[in-house]
Chain A
């Protein structure tokens, strides 16, 4: 991949105006891609909603209502309309942020989601940070020491992270560190007696308590966040270390590395100032992908650690077949993934000199 990129660099020197046009076209294309992906997302959630075997009318009126009421509600819900009309009204509902009522919480799904999503963002962001801080250096070191015991250790650490059932690891951590050692709380986001004190602008307890200067609550939140974040971070680390290793290997094969060595540059500047600089852009994309992958992990780990986020909301809705809530949460998770990929695309354009 990077081979073709380096040749691109050497040949690409078109006039500024055509480059500007090409840039505009690129932005337009990626915008169109985002729109179709979003549309596809909505098609999927719509189809899933139609597949549900439970009768949506019965779930509204109960099974005691008479036939006349059933027919009336059936019409009111638009179920007698052709599918594309139903899809159209689903689209307009989503645009107006109307995701229906949750049968579990008796609240609109949209406001439920707004309430639970900050906890998940907090967890997934910290986990991604942990994964990147440990995974990227590990991958670089493994690539530099390719074939030595360091490389083998890094490989096994990475493959273990790929292979561990995350819900099981969480359960074992609770068994050891809560039940036997008493080092961590059994779950939740904060101690019960600390609840409801902090009400800040960001909905992240960590940030809000820092803003309010309340360190007791800050530590309580950190204490609760640490175990699930480290477990998720380990999964991200496994992925990021393997990716950065293979990106680095690709760079270390290039001829400019040989040139740098020939002119007497030390090992450290070659690795960090030459090779690593060139993989930053690729790494960014991969970190974004890791973040999206963690959204999967949060569903399981939030269930294990009773973390009141999107994942726990989704699974508890699943248990009672609260389909509005399930579909809303799934839609939101899909949208977050799209947004993160879009964000990484934008930052990519900023830091990659070739796209400037």
Chain B
């Protein structure tokens, strides 16, 4: 493949290891990671699926073709056809439209949980790793207690207590997701804790907040991002499980787990009601796993 002049120059600038600026070094690292991602077809496929998911969620009203909430009892439980690609549900709503809008719910939950969990997990883990001593012992004991619970059961207990609903489901899932992040952040922080650059910053009078934010965060970020990517699949599955048990998103909101659950009553007459949303959950969570797996290989080639 021949590249046009501009791109070939850009490629040369990115691949060149004799850096002239720190920006070039940073972009070089990203570019090399991108190239190795391109070389991993499975991870690339995962990346593509997630891209499609985001597009679908953003453009839902344009793609759906039907109103996901419009009931038409005369058209209930119609098999897939040209008018309704994935058929209709027990209220005559278009399953395809609900599937498309369900992508929004899934993304909403995953992003919200991640945004809550990443800083909390990092702060707890990095504080424990940086300060050490009894702070470390106490924080890690708390982390282990949360880890010792099977995560869905813990999320079930919290959403039962907080009441059904999507916001409460997000809180409940977040409570189960932060411990592994904290563990990871602690381990990473401890490896840098006594590095010369940290000691140098301390001698210059930098406080703990500044050291963690300016020096530790950039070093931990890649492995935490990989961990979060791999976590997204379990967030999606837990959210779907809560939805399936009626504790997540409440009707009439389009949520894949709840859609699969309500389809169970019509399993024999309308197989598509359960099959289609389940396949969507499977595809998206597989995509996150493939991407996370590929990213981990790039960062830690020993396991590849």
Q: Give the shortest distance, in Å, between A121 (CB) and chain B (any CB).
A: 14
Question: When the two chains form their complex, are residues B141 and A40 in contact, meaning their CB atoms are under 8 A apart?
Answer: yes
**A121, B302: Cα distance in complex, Å:** 37
Question: When the two chains form their complex, are residues A300 and B278 in contact, meaning their CB atoms are under 8 A apart?
Answer: no
Is A244 located at the chain interface by the 8 A CB criterion?
no
Question: When the two chains form their complex, are residues A165 and B241 in contact, meaning their CB atoms are under 8 A apart?
Answer: yes
* Among listed B15-23, B97-105, B201-209, B283-291, interface-contacting one: B283-291
Q: Give the shortest distance, in Å, between B186 (CB) and chain A (any CB).
A: 16
Q: Contacts of B151 on A, CB cut-off 8 Å?
A: 296
Of the residues A246, A315, A323, contact of B303 by C-beta under 8 Å: A246
Of the residues B148, B257, B293, B302, contact of A341 by C-beta under 8 Å: B148
Is B13 located at the chain interface by the 8 A CB criterion?
no
Count of chain A residues with a beta carbon within 8 Å of a chain B beta carbon: 55
Which single residue of chain B is at the shortest CB-CB distance from A330? B157
Q: Contacts of A155 on B, CB cut-off 8 Å?
A: 42, 293
Q: Give the shortest distance, in Å, between A301 (CB) and chain B (any CB).
A: 11
Is B245 located at the chain interface by the 8 A CB criterion?
yes
Count of chain B residues with a beta carbon within 8 Å of a chain A beta carbon: 49
A residues 36-94 with Cβ under 8 Å of B? 36-37, 40-41, 44-45, 48-49, 51-53
Question: When the two chains form their complex, are residues A172 and B274 in contact, meaning their CB atoms are under 8 A apart?
Answer: yes
Give the interface of B toward A (CB within 8 A).
42, 141-142, 144-146, 148-154, 156-158, 160-163, 233, 237, 240-241, 244-247, 257, 260-261, 264, 267-268, 271, 274-275, 277-278, 281-282, 285-286, 288-290, 293, 302-303
| Extra contacts besides A49-B161, A314-B153, A338-B148 (19): CB < 8 Å | A36-B141, A37-B148, A40-B142, A51-B158, A51-B162, A159-B286, A159-B289, A159-B290, A163-B282, A165-B257, A165-B282, A168-B282, A171-B267, A175-B271, A296-B151, A296-B153, A319-B246, A321-B160, A327-B157
20 A-B pairs (CB sep. < 8 Å): A40-B141, A44-B154, A45-B157, A155-B42, A155-B293, A159-B293, A164-B285, A165-B278, A167-B257, A179-B267, A179-B268, A249-B302, A295-B150, A300-B152, A319-B246, A323-B161, A330-B149, A330-B156, A330-B157, A337-B149
